[in-house]
Amino acid sequence: MAGNDLFNLIAKKQDTDNYRQLHWEGSFEEYLELVVKDPRVTRNAYQRLFDMVMSYGTEEYTQHREKITRYKFFTDPISNGRDGVFGLDKPLMRLVNIIKAAAMGYGAERRVLLLHGPVGSAKSTIARLLKKGLEVYSRSEQGRLYTFSWNMPDLHGEDAVQPCPMHEDPLRLVPSQLRSSVADEINQRTKSDFKVGIDGDLCPFCRYTFRSMMDKYSGDWTQVMKHIRVRRMVLSEKDRIGIGTFQPKDEKNQDSTELTGDINYRKIAEYGSDSDPRAFNFDGEFNVANRGIIEFIEVLKLDVAFLYDLLGASQEHKIKPKKFAQTDIDEVIIGHTNEPEYRKLQSNELMEAFRDRTVKIDIPYNVRLTDEINIYSRDFNKEKVKKHIAPHTIEMAAMWAVLTRLEAPKKSDLSTLQKLKLYNGKTLPGYTEDHIIELKTEAPREGMNGISPRYIQDKLSNALVALQDVNCVNPFMVMNELESGLQHHSLISNEDHRKQYKELLATIKEEYEEIVKNEVQRAISADEEAIAKLCQNYIDNIKAYTQKEKVRNKYTGQIEPPDERLMRSIEEKIEIPESRKDDFRREIMNYIGALAIDGRQFDFRMNERLHRALELKLFEDQKDSIKLSTLVSSVVDRETQEKIDIVKSRLIRNMGYCETCASDVLNFVASIFARGDTKGGGRHK
């Protein structure tokens, strides 16, 4: 009974109307009507690829005074973000611009698109996305395209359907001498801005069949067209229709027929000649990818003979199947390679022609922390991971990965960690947008070296799986995995690099200490009402100070000068020097004044630096009452334990900790205070 119910459920969900649309068939005459209604069905491969990317929409934003377009397609809306690419908006913008130029016929269509970058930088993912996008687009109404089959008697006199082996556009059946006038007539009748052009010749099989049928009907083209059945074409990598993928094998097994097809020796006896196109399998990757896209995995590992095929395919849009004349193709050729292989290409003079026919698009690693975190958060989140991952675990791993990719800044007063924070949108005193642009300009190859995201993913996985008896994974566990793995990292052959990466891990550990100290301090001083009162007191005093007035003491009722000691005790928490106190106070008052003009009221949360200073001041006032250092002792009095429990509950409720990691982080911070390291969070590295 259950099986019957399931069967009926599947039956109800069948979309037969959609199936019929995707498998539409009609005559050549009906196809011409379709072309007049929507000439975009005749788009070439680059035009269709560009329209597919644009169909998902764009977003524009400015980063470091540069306008950047984000193409939503690369977030992988098709698979709910499974293959989404993070942080590569600029390289992807360049890639789409090249595709657009090719779609407009400006010359880029005669080039191989070469994605170049370090291992694990998303080159394969980008190619996979483009292939997947074209598949889905071809199933949509706006992405329709068509091909044709021959319906004619076989050798035994029985009707047989012979599909065009290279999925060509039916308009190629228009005789060459009539193409210009037919295209003009279509363009006059259509209301679309898109102009139809009829380019390229039929494949050898269709050319042979067309000539044979023309001979049979004494040149009557209309009679030949009665044997043509035009059909909707749906691109599919699995079915090898319009999408091809080629991966190099070892040199002894490489054979160029894998790209351009091979003779079908079983049919030679049937047709009598190995040069009869009916005895040839047009099933090479170039053949099956016609009208779509072909991906070359590690393209520069190809044998030289393959690269010659690639030259003609890109520049002339032609391939040379064995025993046949050059054959027209219409497809996007995209390859990817890594740095060592590309350097070999540059040093090989014999490969000059290939270099001249490639457009290199650098695909670097992320150098923006937020984007790197997004990569790992996609796989290591509450939905996928049963164990609890302590706050900052993924952040610290991502921070270390980004640090390994950054070049040390030339400015002596700026550390690599500070540079990372500037790139991630954090403001640092004395550094403007111009400084960030300058930092990027002086390090043009930033992101082309360093640790791969795959290494981080592997070590996060190890930490989650290896520690069976642990129900919460914290940053130290992951950092230990990252460090131990460096000794056997297959891609690190330089000992200096290994040493440098270990030193950067030490920097990350210091940064983590600073972060959790700040969080515990925030949890202790999380009394919003107390912060608001302290803020109001500070504002009253700086207002009196800047306006050279006195302030009323709320407790004594006396009129007194502004409380300099209070103001400085707050400002010192965020390292405002004595010489800059006036500027800082005026800055706060000007900000409050500007808000008042807009009818808005100042809130301490609006100014991150002031908010932090107030928290640190409140923490300083309260820390003696909680005595965190008693945590490292085996005996804690009940009053202190109650206060610690309140702090722990705040860590759990507000900051994402669980019972285990909240206790661990309190113990860790307590040990820091126990050794006397009580400085607030103003340190820069």
User: What is Dmax (Cα atoms) for the chain?
Assistant: 116
Q: Which domain holds residue 459?
A: 369-507
The stretches in the chain having pLDDT less than 50 are 1, 632, 678-685
Please give the pLDDT value at position 678. 46
Q: Which residues contact 138 (CB under 8 A, 6 or more apart)?
A: 144, 145, 233, 234, 235, 242, 292
400 and 495, same structural domain?
Answer: yes
Domain stops at, among 507, 534, 565: 507
Query: Distance between CA atoms of 117 and 129, rounded to whole angstroms?
Result: 17
Residue 259 lies in a domain: no
Antiparallel, parallel or unpaired: β 332-337 and 112-116: parallel
Per-residue pLDDT tens for 618-639? 877 766 555 555 554 555 677 7
Pick from 321, 331, 177, 207: nearest CA to 257: 321
Three-class secondary structure of residue 13 per DSSP: coil
Q: At what angle do helices 393-405 and 416-423 cross, to 10 degrees?
A: 110
Please give the pLDDT value at position 683. 41
pTM for this one? Answer: 0.85
The sign of the dihedral angle between the CA atoms of 562, 568, 574, 576 is positive
602 and 468, same structural domain?
Answer: no
Q: What is the dihedral of CA 35, 37, 38, 42, to 10 degrees?
A: 10
Q: In the numeric block, which tokens belong to residue 554?
A: 């709320």
Domain stops at, among 453, 477, 507: 507
Based on the structure, what is the number of domains in the chain?
2
Residue 443 lies in a domain: yes
* Number of DSSP helices (H) and strands (E) in the chain, helices first: 28, 19
661 and 529, same structural domain?
Answer: yes
Residue 374 lies in a domain: yes
470 and 530, same structural domain?
Answer: no
Please give the pLDDT value at position 195. 92
Q: In the numeric block, which tokens belong to residue 3?
A: 């099986």
558 and 470, same structural domain?
Answer: no
Are 290 and 242 within 8 A, CB to CB?
yes
453 and 533, same structural domain?
Answer: no
From first CA to last CA, the distance across the chain in angstroms is 69
491 and 412, same structural domain?
Answer: yes
Q: In sequence order, what DSSP letters do the residues of 585-635 get, joined into one string?
A: HHHHHHHHHHHHHTT----GGG-HHHHHHHHHHHHHHHHHHH-GGGGGSS-
Burial category of 349 from C-beta neighbours within 10 Å (exposed 0-12, middle 13-18, buried 19 and up):
exposed
Per-residue pLDDT tens for 163-195? 999 999 999 999 999 999 999 999 999 888 999
Query: Distance between CA atoms of 461 and 467, rounded to whole angstroms?
Result: 10
Residue 1 lies in a domain: no
Pick from 332, 309, 210, 330: nearest CA to 261: 309
Report how far Cα 458 is from the mean position of its chain's Cα atoms: 19
Query: Distance between CA atoms of 581 and 586, rounded to whole angstroms?
Result: 9
